[in-house]
Structure 1
C-alpha cells in the first residue's frame, strides 16, 4: 500500500510541469482569443510579467514605441519618489525681511515663496494671516511679494514642447500656486451677472494680489504694493504650508491629475539639478532614473509630466521596467503601490474589475487620449506570486469602452489562471 502511495506521489511530481505547461498554453489561447476581436489595424502592446520569478507570462510587441497617455505619470511619480524619498514635503513658505515683528509692525516686506506645493489653497493663506494676527501684526509697511523663482517662468506645456498640438489646456505651471492658479470672477452678460473661472496670467503677481486683499480684509494695513519678485537671502520664516510627496503622488496617480503632475514634473527637475526647475532638468532626471535602474530605454522619451503630449513615447517593456523597479524598492514600494488606483474601489479604476476572484486585487494607472488607451499595474493575490500587467492600444476603430473591456477581460483571465495554477 505504501509503495502504491509513493508511486502516486512520484507520478504527480513528475507530471506537475506538464500540467503547468498545459495551463500556460491554455492561458495563451484565452488571451489570443480575446485579442482576436481587435481590428487588425490596432497597434497593440502587452506584457504580463512575474517579477519574483522573472518569467514572461505573455508578450506582444513590447519594444515598439507607443503613446502612453497618462501612464506617463508613473515615470513622473516613480522618479520623484525615488530621488526625493517618501518623507519629502513640497512647501510654500511665508518670509519677512524684518527681524523683529513683535512690535506689531512688519517694517519691510512679506515674501510668499513657492517650492512646488501645487495644492496651496485660500484656506492655507488664511492660516498664514491668522499666524500674523496671533503674532500681533497690525501693519505691514512694505510690499507683498509673490516668488515663483523655484521654477522657470515657462508656464505652459506648449511653450516648452516644440510643435505641441495637444488640445488639453492647463492653468500656468508654477512653483507658487494658489487654488490651482485659477480664480472665479464676475462678468456682465447683458443684464445678468455671471461667474466664470479664469486662469492666472501671472501667477506670482496674481497670488500676491490675492494675498494682499485677504490680509487687508482681515484688518491688517498694507502700505506697500502687491508685486512679483525674488526672496532675498536674509529673511526670516513666519509660516509654512506643505504636502507630503506620498499624498501628492496619490492624488496624481489615483485621479490622473494633469495639473499636479506637471507641477511635480518641474519639482523633479529642481530637486535633481539643485537649480531652477525646468522641463530640461525634469527630462534629465527621468532619463537618469531609467538608466540607473536598467529599465529598457530604447524608444522611450518623456516630454511632460502628465502624458497629455502625443510626443511622449514609451514601450511596454519600459513601463514594465518602472513597475518592476518600484516593486523591488523596499523603501518606496508601499507608497508607490498605494498611490495607484484600486480597482472597484477608488480613482480612475473605481468602476472596473469588480468581479475578480476572491483574494485578488488590481492596482494600476490608466491612460486615455484620442485613439489611445493604456493600463498598467499590479495584479495581486493573498497567497500567490504577483503579476505586473501592461496593456496598451492605439486604435482607429472602436471605442475606449471596447478596449477597456478587452483589458479587463485579460486581467480576469489572468486571475483565474493564477487561481487554477496554484492547485497544481
Structure 2
C-alpha cells in the first residue's frame, strides 16, 4: 500500500512538473513571438522575474548596457528611501541671529536656509511672513539672506556631467528653492506688455530679494538688503516648512518629474556625506546602495538623478535588482510601491494597460528619450505571485507608441497567462 501511495505521489509530481514546463514554454513562446516583430536593429532587454520563487520567467539580453532614460529615477528614489528612511522630511527653515525677538523688532538678520525642499513655494513663504506677524515683528534692522549651502553651487547638470549634450534644460538645482526656481516677469513687445517665465539666475539671492519684497508688502520694514550668504551656528529658528520624502518620491516617480529628481539626487549626496550635496557624493551613495544589496553592477553608471543624460547606463538585470531589493524591504516597500504610476489610473501610465484581466494591476516607472523607451514595475494580482517586469528598447525605426504597445502587450499576455495557470 505504501509503495502504491509513493508511486501515485511521484506520478503527480511528474505531471505537475510537466504542466509547469509546458506553461513556461507557452509564455516564453508568446513573448518571443511578440518580440519577433521588432526591427532588426532594435536593441532590446527584457526580464520577467518572480521575486518570491527567484524564478526567471523570460529573459533577453539582461546584461546589455542600455540608456535607462527616466528609469534612472528608480535608482534615485530607492536609494533615497533606503538611506534616509520613509519618515525623513526635507525642509526650508527661517532663522534669525537675534536671539530675543519679543520686542517686535529683529535686531539683526533673517536667514532663509534650504535643506532640499524642492516644493517650497511663495505660499509657503507667505506663511513664514504670517508667523513673523503673529510674533509681533514689525521691523528687521539687518539683511534678508538666502542660504543654499546645503548643496554646492553647481546649479546645472551640464556643469557636473563632462561633455553633457542632453537638450532638456532645467531650472537651477539648489538646496533653497522657491516656485521651482522660476519667476514670471513683464516684458515689452512693441506696444504690448507680455508675461514670460524665466529661471532664477542666482537662487539664494533672487529668493532673498523676493522674500524682502513680500515682507515689505506685508508692512514689515526691512532696513538692510537682500543677499546670499551662510547661516551662522548661533541662531534662533522661527519657522519651518517641510516635505515628506514619501510625497516627494511619489511626485518624482508618478509624473517623472526631472527637476524634483535632480534636487533629490543632491539631497542624497548631502545626507550621505554629512557635508554638502553634490553629484560626486550622490553617485557614491547610489553605488554603495547597489553594492550593499548585491545588485548586478557591471555596466551600470548613474551620472544624474533624472535620467536626462544619455551617459546614464544600466542593464535590465540591475533595474530588476532595484525592484527586487525594494520588494523585500519591509520598511520601505509600501511607500516605494505607492510612488509608482498605477497603469490606467494615474501618472505616466494613466492611459495605458486599462484592459488587464480582472484582479490584476501594474505599478511601474516609464522612461523616454529620443530613440529610447523603457518600462519597469510590478505586475500584481489578488491571489497569485507577483512578477517584476523590465522591458527596455533602443531603436532607430518606429515610434515611441509602437514600442509602448509592445510593452503593454507583453504585460497583458503575462497577466492572461497567470490568470489561466492554476498551477502557477
Match of residue 18 from structure 2 = 18
Match of residue 184 from structure 1 = 184
Shift, 1:13, TM fit: 4.8
Paired with 1:304 and 1:45, the residues of 2 have a C-alpha distance of: 22
Paired with 2:13 and 2:368, the residues of 1 have a C-alpha distance of: 46
Contact persistence 2:146–2:204 (CA under 8 A): yes
Match of residue 342 from structure 1 = 342
Paired with 1:272 and 1:249, the residues of 2 have a C-alpha distance of: 18
Match of residue 416 from structure 1 = 416
Paired with 2:37 and 2:106, the residues of 1 have a C-alpha distance of: 70
Does residue 262 of the first structure (1) align with residue 276 of the second (2)? no
Paired with 2:342 and 2:236, the residues of 1 have a C-alpha distance of: 43
Paired with 2:12 and 2:278, the residues of 1 have a C-alpha distance of: 61
Q: Deviation digits for residues 342-397 of structure 1, max 9, x if unmatched?
A: 00000000000001011100000000000000000000011110000000000000
Match of residue 159 from structure 1 = 159
Paired with 1:255 and 1:5, the residues of 2 have a C-alpha distance of: 58
* Runs of 5+ unmatched residues, structure 2: none
| Helix, strand or coil at the partner of 2:79 | helix
Runs of 4+ in 1 over 2 A off after TM superposition: 4-14
| Helix, strand or coil at the partner of 2:114 | strand
Match of residue 118 from structure 1 = 118
Does residue 284 of the first structure (1) align with residue 259 of the second (2)? no
Match of residue 310 from structure 2 = 310
Q: Residues 59-208 of structure 1: matches in 2 within 5 Å?
A: 59-208=59-208
| Helix, strand or coil at the partner of 1:79 | helix
Paired with 1:8 and 1:279, the residues of 2 have a C-alpha distance of: 63
Contact persistence 2:183–2:197 (CA under 8 A): yes
Contact persistence 2:141–2:224 (CA under 8 A): yes
Paired with 2:423 and 2:303, the residues of 1 have a C-alpha distance of: 46
| Helix, strand or coil at the partner of 2:311 | coil
Q: Residues 379-390 of structure 1: matches in 2 within 5 Å?
A: 379-390=379-390
Match of residue 392 from structure 2 = 392
Q: Deviation digits for residues 58-114 of structure 1, max 9, x if unmatched?
A: 000000100000000000000000000000000000000001111010000000000
- TM-score (ref. length: structure 2): 0.97
Contact persistence 1:384–1:422 (CA under 8 A): no
Shift, 1:405, TM fit: 0.2
Match of residue 351 from structure 2 = 351
Match of residue 215 from structure 2 = 215
Shift, 1:269, TM fit: 0.2
Paired with 1:23 and 1:329, the residues of 2 have a C-alpha distance of: 30
Match of residue 237 from structure 1 = 237
Match of residue 361 from structure 1 = 361
* Runs of 5+ unmatched residues, structure 1: none
- TM-score (ref. length: structure 1): 0.97
Shift, 1:14, TM fit: 3.5
Paired with 1:325 and 1:11, the residues of 2 have a C-alpha distance of: 37
Contact persistence 2:20–2:423 (CA under 8 A): no
When the two chains are superposed, the root-mean-square deviation of aligned CA atoms in Å is 1.4
Does residue 370 of the first structure (1) align with residue 354 of the second (2)? no
Paired with 1:365 and 1:76, the residues of 2 have a C-alpha distance of: 12
| Helix, strand or coil at the partner of 2:227 | strand
Paired with 2:174 and 2:238, the residues of 1 have a C-alpha distance of: 22
Paired with 2:6 and 2:175, the residues of 1 have a C-alpha distance of: 70
Contact persistence 1:70–1:368 (CA under 8 A): yes
Match of residue 402 from structure 1 = 402
| Helix, strand or coil at the partner of 1:48 | strand
Paired with 1:422 and 1:188, the residues of 2 have a C-alpha distance of: 69
Paired with 2:271 and 2:348, the residues of 1 have a C-alpha distance of: 29
